[in-house]
């Protein structure tokens, strides 16, 4: 069904297609030998023009666990981009070497552009402050595994909602699920972009915007914390003023429901105190592992080997 398809932004895959990925990911999680050698002979190119730990490592782990291989770079300084090579040229070349490309780039729209030049599928691993659809697959699988289903939930997003691409992708996608209410918690300067709120309004999704985390805590089923995206700020002063505006600590956690789950795409800076890690509701490290399973499901589906 997904064979040969690219994943650039939310909406590229239907809810049914995503649900079948989650079912497959759950099967892989429960039986680590499932799909073991199915990508033998396949090559994944990871082109990371921006730093990454989890996304790149989980994609590489996924491909290696499927029996395939990986090539690529994690530091744009070591690629020909520094010599002035265009993205279109880099992509055409990489597509000649690999069967699928995963790319992260600081420019919004870069993944879409890459997919236009690539004869092999392109997976967007983050394009600037725009989208990060495989993090959304990770987030949704985590919610499904820990809350049973992605429906009837109040989801709070907290932190840098302006530049946080994981927030944009997740909010846009959650809008297609049943009975989801969203609460956007951010300072005035970092509110959720209008193109997202317009999308929610169009789909008649209930949402609110607030500055206050404490007040929001008691009503949330899922709290999605995010770091302030330093690299997308125009000046350091604003970053310093805003960076510690929300810190989730044990005291604030005590205001939350017993069945709350706390997610974070990671990396965390100061926005979640380390003391919260021991709270059973802290799900962010489990979330990172689900990211590998869902990427195994994604790669095997896109490669058409299942």
- The contacts found for 256-259 with CB under 8 angstroms, 24 or more apart, are 256/217, 256/218, 256/220, 256/223, 256/281, 257/218, 257/220, 257/221, 259/147, 259/221
In the complex with ligand NCD, the residue whose CB is nearer, 253 or 266, is 266
Nearest approach in angstroms of CB 179 to ligand NCD is 27
Nearer to ligand NCD, 35 or 173 (CB): 173
| Helix (H/G/I), strand (E/B), else coil: 200 | helix
- Least distance (Å) from ligand NCD to the CB of residue 73? 17
Q: Which of 5, 42, 65, 104 is catalytic?
A: 104
| CB-nearer residue toward ligand NCD: 166 or 186 | 166
Dihedral sign computed on CA atoms, order 54, 232, 13, 301: negative
Q: Sheet with 122-127: list strands edge to edge.
A: 69-73, 43-48, 100-105, 122-127
Identify which of residues 115 and 138 has a Cβ nearer to ligand NCD in the complex: 138
**Residue 54 falls in the annotated catalytic set:** yes
104 among known catalytic residues: yes
Give the shortest CB-265-to-ligand NCD separation in angstroms: 4
**In angstroms, rounded to a whole number, what is the distance separating the alpha carbons of residues 93 and 187?**
43
Q: Give least dist CB 178 to ligand NCD, A.
A: 26
**Active-site hit among 5, 46, 55, 227:** 55
Greatest distance between any 2 Cα atoms in the chain: 54
Is 55 noted as a catalytic residue in this protein?
yes
**Footprint of ligand NCD (CB under 6 A):** 54-55, 126, 132, 135, 165-166, 227, 265-266
- The answer to whether 129 touches 162, Cβ cutoff 8 Å, is yes
- Catalogue the active-site residues: 54-55, 83, 104, 132
């Amino acid at each position: 069904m997904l064979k040969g398809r690219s994943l650039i932004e939310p909406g590229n895959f239907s809810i049914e297609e995503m649900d079948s990925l989650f079912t497959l990911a759950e099967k892989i999680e429960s039986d680590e030998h499932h799909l073991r050698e199915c990508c033998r002979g396949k090559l994944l190119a990871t082109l990371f023009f921006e730093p990454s730990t989890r996304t790149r490592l989980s994609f590489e782990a996924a491909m290696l666990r499927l029996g395939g291989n990986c090539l690529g770079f994690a530091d744009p300084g070591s690629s020909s981009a520094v010599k002035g090579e265009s993205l279109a040229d880099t992509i055409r070349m990489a597509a000649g070497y690999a069967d699928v490309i995963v790319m992260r780039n600081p420019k919004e729209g870069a993944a879409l552009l890459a997919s236009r030049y690539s004869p092999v599928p392109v997976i967007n691993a983050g394009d600037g402050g725009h989208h990060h659809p495989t993090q959304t697959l990770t987030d949704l699988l985590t919610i499904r595994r820990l809350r049973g289903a992605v429906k009837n939930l109040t989801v709070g997003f907290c932190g840098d909602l302006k530049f946080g691409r994981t927030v944009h992708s997740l909010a846009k996608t959650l809008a297609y699920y049943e009975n989801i209410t969203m609460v956007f918690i951010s300072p005035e300067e970092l509110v959720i972009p209008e193109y997202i709120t317009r999308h929610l309004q169009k789909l008649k999704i209930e949402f609110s915007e607030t500055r206050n985390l404490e007040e929001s805590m008691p009503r949330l089923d899922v709290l999605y914390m995010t770091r302030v995206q330093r690299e997308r700020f125009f000046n350091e002063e604003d970053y310093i003023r805003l960076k510690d505006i929300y810190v989730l600590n044990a005291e604030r956690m005590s205001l939350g429901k017993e069945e709350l789950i706390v997610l974070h795409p990671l990396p965390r800076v100061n926005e979640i105190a380390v003391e919260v890690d021991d709270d059973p509701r802290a799900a962010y490290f489990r979330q990172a592992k689900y990211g590998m399973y869902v990427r195994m499901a994604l790669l095997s589906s896109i490669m058409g080997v299942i």
